[in-house]
Amino acid sequence: MSAATATLTPADLKGADTPISLRAHLRHTGALIRRNLLWIRQDPESMFDAILFPVVFTLLFVYVFGGSIGQSLGGGQEAYVQYVVPGLLAMTGMNMAQGVGTGFNQDFNSGVMDRFRSLPIGRGSVLFAKIAVELMRMLFATVVLVIVSVLVGFDITSWTGLLASVGLSAAFGFALMWVFLTLGVTMKNAQSVQAMGFLVLMPLQFGSSIFAPTASMPGWLRNFTEFNPLSALADAARGLMIGGPVAHGLWVTLAWSVGLTAVMAPISIHKFRTKA
């Protein structure tokens, strides 16, 4: 018997169309979280992205672009480290979100999700468990990012601000995960989900204030960055961690997070229920 079903009790064995209580939903979600964590333990290579992403991106941007962009900030590489690390932290949740969609699609194609949908468990529990584990992976990636950032010279001036930035990034990542879960359900294969994620996320990443100030960008691109939620998230994280304006970026990020979740979560659950 799999870890996903081992903790289910006879009281949970209701018809698939019978309403399930909140308590049962929570029990099902906990069982599925345990199943997903056990899968990671059996396949530790699935954690490579959470380990390598923060290391590669931090070293790449600090040592390749830090000198030139840092000069424009008035302080060289040291100034750029203080600028880019909050942006990388803001981007962590987004990169983990993409992995949710590809992994969910692979589970469908392997037949795992058909098995889950045949069980008398809450349909939303499957999705919430997937997101919960990805948030754990995001927090692990954040810890790696902070360690590497400190090693390359990042100065943590406010631990409270750091924790608030992590929470804000997790909230936005949570919202994006619903988008990618929908893609994972509706698209035919994991490669298509990954390609779509690349087409959406690359402009959002580089057309933002994550890696460089927007003042030197052409006017049309600066206009795009003003509406880019990643710019708001990066600016809020920067303000919280090293000082500066926070309110506008904070409220914009929270508005995007709530809006995306309110729209995409019901769609994801509906698509999961009705997928042929």
Q: Which of 90, 91, 228 is nearest to 165 (CA)?
A: 90
> Is pLDDT at 269 greater than 50 in this prediction?
yes
The more confident residue out of 253 and 117 is 253
Contact call for residues 114 and 24 (beta carbons, < 8 A): no
Query: Taking residues 131-157, what's their average pLDDT?
Result: 91
Residue 275 and residue 78: Cα distance in Å, rounded? 51
In the chain, where does DSSP find H-type helix?
Answer: 3-6, 22-42, 48-60, 66-73, 76-110, 112-118, 123-151, 159-186, 190-206, 219-227, 229-242, 247-274
Spell out the domain ranges in the chain.
21-274
Top mean-pLDDT range of 40-44, 134-138, 260-264:
260-264
Residue 130 and residue 99: Cα distance in Å, rounded? 11
154 contacts: CB under 8 Å, gap ≥ 6? 81, 82, 85, 146
The 10s digit of each residue's pLDDT in 150-162 is 999 999 888 999 9
The 10s digit of each residue's pLDDT in 80-110 is 999 999 999 988 888 888 788 888 888 777 7
Q: How many CA atoms lie within 13 A of 86 on its CB side?
A: 36
pLDDT at 18: 55
The two structure tokens encoding residue 7: 């903790």
What is the value of pTM for the model shown?
0.84
> Is pLDDT at 16 greater than 50 in this prediction?
no
Residue 81 and residue 65: Cα distance in Å, rounded? 10
